[in-house]
Amino acid sequence: MYGLVNLAVEDLVRRQFGDEVWARIKAHAGVTAPEFNRMQTYADSVTYQLVGAASAELGAPAADILRTFGRHWITYARDHGYAHIFKLAGRDLKQFVRNLDNMHTRLGATFPDMDAPSFSVEDNADGSFDVHYYSSRPGLQPFVVGLLEGLALEFDCEAAVSIRDSRASGADHDVFTVAVSPLVGR
């Protein structure tokens, strides 16, 4: 993964828990570099180790950390130079998710070694929609749940996200069912 992802993990931890906790997580993960370079690729294991170390240091399940990170990733990416891409990707959550593959293709010009996941959307009769998620990286389902929840907030709505099918249960890809409702209080 690119250093941009690890920088977002760092940003989340520092904002919510402070510099000392980040230093402990980094040490626990075995990360010795003083900082991450956003344009450099790092082994996926570095990010997984950071999540595992955060889980141990904070006493929270890794799934909860990944979900929180998914929500944070949206605001981090938007606030760190990618707001213009967000504006081009869609006028609502479903359209945005439908355009994620196109967005990743555009980002590939900047991040040529990016191993982006792929997404497709299927409408359901009840008004919800299914998001089909294909990735070479295992175990990121909670991240995608948080990502979808965070994206919903960008469109002034809430998303109830459930996992319908999972690679962990033998499926060839993950499928999330998303039900969108207006954001109360806005």
Enumerate residues 6+ apart whose C-beta is below 8 A from 181.
Answer: 157, 158, 160
Confidence of residue 99 (pLDDT cuts 50, 70, 90): very high
pLDDT digits (tens, 9 = 90+) for 104-161: 888 777 788 888 999 999 999 999 999 999 999 999 999 999 999 999 999 999 999 9
Rounded mean pLDDT of 75-99? Answer: 88
pLDDT for 110:
78
Residue type, 175: V
**With bands split at pLDDT 50, 70 and 90, how would you rate the model's confidence at 186?**
low
Statement: residue 185 has pLDDT above 70: no
pTM of the entire predicted model: 0.93
In the sheet that 129-134 helps form, which strands lie side by side, from edge to edge? Answer: 118-123, 129-134, 174-182, 157-165
CATH classification code of 92-182: 3.90.1520.10
Domain ranges of the chain: 3-60, 92-182
Nearby residues of 166 by Cβ (< 8 Å), 6 or more positions away = 141, 174, 175
